[in-house]
A and B are shown apart, each in its own frame.
Chain A
Amino acid sequence: MAKFWNTALSRMRHLNIFSRSIGRKILLWSVCLFGASFFPFGSTPQPEKVRDGNCSGTQSFYGYTFLYPDIINKSAAYAPFFLKWDDYYDKVFFKADPQKKENIEEWVERFCDQPDTAHVDFVVYKASSSMLSGLRDAAADKTKKTILPYSLAGNTFAEMIAINGCTEIPEYLMYARKCEPYVTAQGDEWEGSQPDNRAMQDLIKEGLGRFEETSSQFIRLRYAYQIVRLAHYAKQWQQTVDLYNFLMPKVDRKKPSIIFFWTLGHLAGALQKLGKYPEAAYRYAMVFRFCASKRAQAYRSFRIRNDQDWNATVKLCQSDAEKATLFILRAGGSHTHAVEDMQTVYELDPSNPQLDILLVSEVQELEKIYLRTRITDQKHGAAIGAINRQNAAQHLLDLSNFVRRVIRDKQTPNPKLWRCMIGYLELLSGDRYAAEKSFDRAEDLLNKREGYDQNLQKQIDIWRLVLAIVSINPASEFPDDEAFRIRSYAVFKTNPYFEPFLQDWLSAAYAATKHPGKALLAAYEPSALGLNPNLEALDDLIKVASSDNPVFLEKAMMIDTNPARIRARLYDLKGAYLMSIGQPEAALATFRNITASEQALLPQFSPFREITGERINIPVTDTLLLNRRQILEKILEYEFDAKAASAEKAPVAAWYYYLIGLAYYNMSYFGYEWEAMDFYRSGYNWNRLAQGPVFPLAGSPAGNRENTDVSLALSYFEKALYEAQNPELAARAAFMAARCQQKAWFCTPECRYRPGSKLIPTLPDEYMTYYNIMRKNYTGTAFYGQMVKECKWFAAYMR
């Protein structure tokens, strides 16, 4: 937006001081008003738009989603492994250290929830070996006279250990401290590390001795874990398995412990290294199922090489619930078509809570398809990783049928979620009436005071707004009123996707009802109108602006309710485009629709000057400043005069043709007055002229059109050369014709020249016609001598 209007502002350098200041003020006002118009809620959050990249789709966009993350129980579920709600889980789930948290909870529970969690954390994870040694001494002193180390004073957990004489705990913790350096990443990951096998074996030996001497089953399990872990980190795969098989039967596991699953994870790792993939996969599945703190590692390590592995792993399962876990893990490997797996899981374990996660994950995939429009694709490129519509229809049907079955069977532990979800699936399938009814029914089930139900209510509110957006009827009289009303809802501001989604949807709906202009303005910034003007879109908008009740534009203008100004802008855009495609008469007719008062506000240019340099940003001082309409009038007048003079063989004919040629050249992509026929010029396109004249540009549905065709200018220079009766003017016309031919060569795919190159581009013979004429006929002219001095390229061509 800014760039577009900056371009317009830059025109002001052509005005004299008085008109410049006034013009700038007026233009700034109209810019602000026009620009603000289509985004009345400036603070509405929306994904950032990119313009600079010169190509669309520079940022990854996976599609709109209107799922509210809190409808899933994060801590108890497998959610992080299936869902991609941006970085929600990174923030909420992964930032925590679930392993440490679960371990501390287990210690606290073992001490009947008496010690403070922070105190347990300090003793288990932070206390130094000397502190632990002091703690052990205090616990071993039956007289209870040994005081705790200073840093443990007041620590409820340390006090309980000391009072109860639990020497095994500090002994174990001191052993764990010794193991630590060998089983955790140390120092710089650039250095790599090789296990110190001898030291680790010594520690295993020591641990085995301690294991035998320890009476507490709680601590014995922890010794077993440390020992098995050491063997695993020492890369002694068979020893890991042997130690596990030796130690675990000796531990009383009546009371469940997460440490068992931690140990099981190391066994699984060793089994995988030994090539026992099914045995390893089965154990990883158990860790995944039962141990939240090691779930991520288990998910990443779960590996089935082939169908034989899979079948063997399934056979190892001892219950349908275990089998269901395997299917969930398999389904997690991809993000599409998991209905089949969901059905299998449901047959095996209908109350499996993880089905909720798979359901939401599947719905996310469908959102990618059904919440896209043609406009979304134009803006962001084709969908990344989304299933195609044909498959999606079947997929949506399959999933809807499955959801209805689950609701019917009443075996799911979370029926409210499934009831809500069927409404959303109906919405996605386009059955708005059914969706509305399903949301009503789901709402009736919710207890508004319960936390989870409140989350579901929020979710329904979001979906109801989506429903309102997709229900906007562009054929109705006031679709824009409806859009503005939607924007005013509080829910609208809860999801950053609402604004772009509304724009896309409204735009697609307008396009479908043959309103290309409204469609364009609904989805894009007003500057897009001038990037590659579309006559149908401009005519549509002019029609709306010219009607008695231009609701769309007036609403959009908000403050500036002057339709004449808007119409003037639109006619200016249309006229400039017609000029650029060589239709001066049609352009003039268009410009004549602009009222005189608006004409006075339009930017002015000076395209008839003879500028021989190639720079496009040059200060131009001229008394002849004209707006686009006046330029055209002047061109048509010159053409008339030229033809009249030519008929009378008057020498001035050449001069008029030359001036027209100059105007067209100067207003082209290569000229200093390019803004007279264009509203956005990208210097980058110099690097790829052959791909033009329309170049891809982010934020523009039809790219950016550059006026690179200088054939019209060339034709006038040729006429000037033909009519010229004095060698100086002929030399000028030939020189400009040569420049046109050179630019035409730059636009061919064969041209290798790129701006910035120090090499002077060599032109093929067919593009050297007028340089050759210069060399052959006009070396004696003053203009030739001047050009040879001023222009290195010209001098080189003349050599």
Chain B
Amino acid sequence: MIRICCAFLIVSLLVAACAKPEKRAAPGFYYWKTNFKLSSEDCLYLNETKCKSLYVKFLDIGISPETGQMAPLSQLSVSDTTGLAGIKIIPCVFMMNRVFHQINAEKIDWLAGKTINAIQKIGAHFPGFSLDKNPETHNGAQTTNEIQIDCDWTTGTRDAYFLFLKKLKSALPAHLRLSATIRLHQYKFPEQTGVPPVDRGMLMCYNTGDIDNPNEENSILQPKDVRKYLNGAPKNYPIALDIVLPLFSWALVYRDDALWKIITDLQPDTFSDTTKFKPNLNVGDDTENHRYLVKKGNFLNAYYLRAGDLIRIEGISPALLQETAALAAQTDLADDPVIAFFELDASNLHPFSPQLLNSVWQSFGTPH
């Protein structure tokens, strides 16, 4: 009996030693508007989901149409910082891929310096924000420990982009970690696309479909598309990954079978006016009735729609979010992943209760 007990104990210890420790997850949100001001509903979601990480887009960097030079195309203006107590701001910089075409090492150095300066300048509008202060040694300060770069790099720009990341990393204080967004195809084919030289990646689990195709069911997200990316992906991604799931919706306007405009900030009753729109059930197996045909020319969110334009509403349902989360859990995430949602915008959040979002992020691991 003692032998059996000992054997059982040894086996148990071995299993415990070999089993992967359960992940410790945390929620996050993206704030992608150009003016920072949290609504009461935004604050409610931050509080109810116990969110401690807010990824805020500080600036877009692209090529100025006026000068042809790389420049910040938009910068965050900060109107109100109420509601941020206890929340860590993670500055994000969106970089157009074009920036890294035909750029030399010297210019990359310059760009890294400019980017850090711009982040510091915008960050100064958040009380207590500093890149220099280590949050671990400055308890309670409204500071940050991470900077994130968002760029959909290609083979042609990879080397320049990766060099930029290296320069940025070397110019940042040691306590700051540098992260970069990773598209699903980059996750699946790291050998072909390369792995950015950063401390951490943010895997973007959306924009999986073909937005240009008028017959696409949902270009934001479809589980079958996600599966395609996950099947055959390497078991171990070389850097620690967080993940971001979509909560946004939009209307895509197709004119003569080609994508014409993307319209955001839609109201729920936008297409209820039957004198202007009629449901279009002729395309595919459209049972959810989220396509409309424009019957009569009219202005919608500052765009003039013409009769015959086809509109496809795309969004994420709670069920789709949960299904995607279950799929995304198969990816090689960090042991302490942030499960972020894109984006914190009251007009998009109404289908998702904070409880639902809690259940989604907690499905990736126990809260830390």
Check if A303 sits within 8 Å of B306, measured CB to CB.
no
Judge whether B75 is part of the interface by a CB distance below 8 angstroms.
yes
In the assembled complex, A27 has its CB within 8 A of some CB on chain B: no
A337, CB-defined interface residue at 8 Å: yes
What residue in chain B is nearest A303 (Cβ atoms)? B302
A756 to B189 alpha-carbon distance, docked (Å): 13
Instruction: Given A190-B114, A334-B260, A384-B258, decide whether A304 and B300 contact each other with a Cβ distance below 8 A.
Output: no
How many Å lie between the Cα of A304 and that of B75 in the bound state?
A: 25
Check A337/B308 contact, CB under 8 A, given A307-B299, A384-B258: yes
Contact A189 B298, CB 8 Å, known A387-B256, A752-B232: no
Chain A residues with Cβ under 8 A from B75's Cβ?
Answer: 192
Instruction: Tell me the minimal C-beta distance from B9 to chain A in angstroms.
Output: 36
Say yes or no for B317: interface residue by CB 8 A criterion.
Answer: no
A318 interface hit (Cβ, 8 Å): no
- Is B102 among interface residues, defined by CB-CB distance under 8 A? no
C-alpha gap A749/B304 in the complex (Å): 46
Would you call B301 an interface residue if the criterion is a C-beta within 8 Å of the partner chain's C-beta atoms? yes
Interface centre among A304, A334, A391 (most CB of B within 10 A): A334
B258 A386 Cβ-Cβ under 8 A:
yes
Q: Does B64 touch A at the CB level, under 8 Å?
A: yes
- CB–CB B303/A391 < 8 A: no
- Is the Cβ of A687 less than 8 Å from the Cβ of B192? yes
CB contacts under 8 Å to B, within A291-311, are 303-307, 309-310
A306 touches B300 (CB 8 A): yes
Q: Decide yes or no whether A372 CB sits under 8 A from chain B.
A: no
Q: Which residues of B contact A756 (CB under 8 A)?
A: 191
A334 near B255: Cβ-Cβ < 8 Å: yes
- Assess whether A305 is in contact with B121, with CB atoms less than 8 Å apart: no
Q: For the complex, is B43 an interface residue (Cβ under 8 Å from A)?
A: no
Nearest CB in chain A to that of B192: its residue? A687
A196 CB within 8 Å of chain B: no
| Cα separation A750 to B88 with both chains bound (whole Å) | 43
Distance, CA A336 to CA B302, complexed state (A): 17
| B304-A386 in contact (CB<8A) | no
Interface: A757 (CB within 8 A):
yes
Q: Which of B192, B258, B297, B299 contacts A309 (CB 8 A)?
A: B299
Once the chains bind, are B304 and A304 in contact (CB under 8 Å)? Answer: yes
> Which residues of the partner chain A approach B308 to less than 8 Å between Cβ atoms?
337, 391
Known: A387-B256, A750-B232. A330 touches B301 (CB 8 A): no
Residues of B within 8 A of A391 (CB): 256, 308
In B52-101, which residues have CB < 8 Å from any A CB? Answer: 64, 71-72, 75
Most central of B64, B114, B256, B304 by chain A CB within 10 Å: B256
Given known A-B contacts A307-B298, A756-B191, A336 and B256 have beta carbons under 8 A apart: yes
A764 close to B (CB within 8 Å): no
The answer to whether B306 and A337 touch across the interface, beta carbons within 8 angstroms, is yes
Partner of B255, one of A191, A305, A336, A750: A336
Q: Size range of the interface on A? A: 20 to 34
Contact of A754 among B72, B117, B191, B257 (CB under 8 A): B191
Which residues of chain B have C-beta atoms less than 8 A from A752's C-beta? 232, 234
- Chain A CB within 8 A of B239 CB: no
Pick the contact of B302: A304, A337, A385 (CB < 8 A).
A304
* Contacting residues, chain A, for B297 (C-beta < 8 A): 340
Task: Indicate which residue in A191, A306, A336 contacts B299 across the interface (CB closer than 8 Å).
Answer: A306
* B240 part of interface (Cβ distance < 8 Å): no
Q: Tell me the minimal C-beta distance from B301 to chain A in angstroms.
A: 7
* Complex alpha-carbon distance, A757 and B234, angstroms: 13
Chain A, range 371-416, C-beta contacts under 8 Å to B: 383-388, 391
B72 touching A304, Cβ below 8 Å: no
Contact pattern, B 100-119, Cβ under 8 Å of A = 1, otherwise 0: 00000000000000100110
A333 proximal to B (CB < 8 A):
yes
Whether B260 lies near A388 (C-beta < 8 A) is no
Is A189's CB under 8 angstroms from B64's CB? Answer: yes
A 177-225 contacts with B by CB, 8 A: 189-192
- Chain A residues with CB under 8 Å of B234's CB are 752
A305–B304 Cα distance when bound, in Å, is 9
A310 & B256 in contact (Cβ 8 Å cutoff): no
Chain A 408-441: CB-based contact to B (< 8 A → 1; otherwise 0):
0000000000000000000000000000000000
CB-CB under 8 A from B298, the residues of chain A are 306-307
Which residues 117-174 of B sit at the A interface, judged by CB distance below 8 A?
Answer: 117-118, 121
Contact A757-B191, Cβ < 8 Å, known A189-B71, A307-B299, A334-B304 = yes
CB-nearest residue of chain B to A759: B191
Across the interface, name the chain B residue whose C-beta is closest to A383.
B258
User: What is the minimal beta-carbon distance from A112 to any residue of chain B, in angstroms?
Assistant: 36
Inter-chain contact A754/B192, CB cutoff 8 Å = yes
On chain A, the residues within 8 Å of B299 by CB distance are 304-307, 309-310
Is the pair A192, B121 in contact by a Cβ cutoff of 8 Å?
yes
- B50, chain A: closest CB distance, angstroms: 34
| Residue-wise interface mask of B (253-284) relative to A, using a CB-CB cutoff of 8 A (1 in contact, 0 not) | 00111101000000000000000000000000
Which residue of chain A has the shortest Cβ distance to B115 in the bound complex? Answer: A190
B residues near A306, Cβ cutoff 8 Å: 298-301
Given contacts A307-B299, A687-B192, is CB(A190)–CB(B72) below 8 Å?
yes
* Residue-wise interface mask of A (740-775) relative to B, using a CB-CB cutoff of 8 A (1 in contact, 0 not): 000000000110101011000000000000000000
CA distance A364 to B12 in the complex (A): 76
What residues on A are CB-neighbors of B257 within 8 Å? Answer: 388
Which residues does chain B contribute within 8 Å of A387, judged by CB atoms? Answer: 255-256
A304 contacts across to B, CB distance below 8 A: 299, 302, 304
Looking at B299, B301, B302, the one whose CB has the most chain A CB atoms below 10 A away is B299
Cα of A506 to Cα of B308 in the assembled complex, Å = 35
How far is A241 from B255 in the complex, measured between Cα atoms in Å?
Answer: 39
> Are A388 and B301 interface neighbours, CB within 8 A?
no
B341 → chain A closest CB, angstroms: 28
Given A304-B299, A304-B304, A305-B302, answer yes or no on A191-B121 (Cβ-Cβ < 8 Å). Answer: yes
- Taking a contact as CB atoms closer than 8 A, the residue among B117, B256, B260, B301 that contacts A190 in the complex is B117
> CB-CB < 8 A to B118: which residues of A?
190, 192
Q: Do residues A333 and B304 form an inter-chain contact, with CB atoms below 8 A?
A: yes
Give the chain B neighbours of A189 by CB distance below 8 A. 64, 71-72
Which residues of chain A are near B121, meaning CB under 8 Å? 191-192
A304 vs B258: C-alpha distance in the bound complex, in angstroms?
23
Least CB separation from A365: chain B residue: B256
Q: A192-B75, A385-B258 are in contact. Are A334 and B306 (CB under 8 A)?
A: yes
Contacts of A749 in B (CB 8 A): 232
Question: Which residues of chain A come closer than 8 Å to B258, judged between CB atoms?
Answer: 383-386
Task: Report the separation of the CA atoms of residues A750 and B114 in the bound assembly, to the nearest whole angstrom.
Answer: 45
**Which residues of the other chain, A, contact B301 by a CB distance below 8 angstroms?**
305-306
CB distance from A761 to the nearest CB of B (A): 13
A361 to chain B, nearest CB (A): 15
In the assembled complex, the Cα of A384 lies from the Cα of B304 at a distance in Å of 20
Contact with B along A319-346 (1 / 0, CB 8 A): 0000000000010011011001000000
**Which residues of chain B (280-298) have a CB below 8 Å from chain A?**
297-298
- CB <8 Å contact, B191 and A190: no
A residues less than 8 Å from B304 (CB atoms): 304, 330, 333-334
**Chain B hits for A336, CB < 8 A:** 255-256, 306
Assess the B306–A388 pair: CB atoms within 8 A.
Answer: no
Q: How far is the CA of A340 from the CA of B301 in the complex (A)?
A: 22
Q: For chain A residues 496-536, which have a beta carbon within 8 Å of chain B?
A: none
Q: Could you list 23 examples of A-B contacts with CB < 8 Å?
A: A189-B72, A190-B71, A190-B72, A191-B121, A192-B75, A192-B118, A192-B121, A303-B302, A304-B299, A305-B301, A306-B298, A306-B300, A307-B298, A330-B304, A333-B304, A334-B260, A340-B306, A387-B256, A687-B192, A752-B232, A752-B234, A754-B191, A754-B192
* A residues with CB within 8 A of B: 189-192, 303-307, 309-310, 330, 333-334, 336-337, 340, 383-388, 391, 687, 749-750, 752, 754, 756-757
Closest 4 A-B residue pairs measured CB to CB? A387-B256, A306-B299, A190-B114, A385-B258
Beyond A303-B302, A306-B301, 15 additional pairs, beta carbon < 8 A? A190-B71, A190-B114, A190-B117, A304-B304, A306-B299, A307-B299, A334-B255, A334-B260, A334-B304, A336-B255, A337-B306, A340-B297, A385-B258, A388-B256, A756-B191
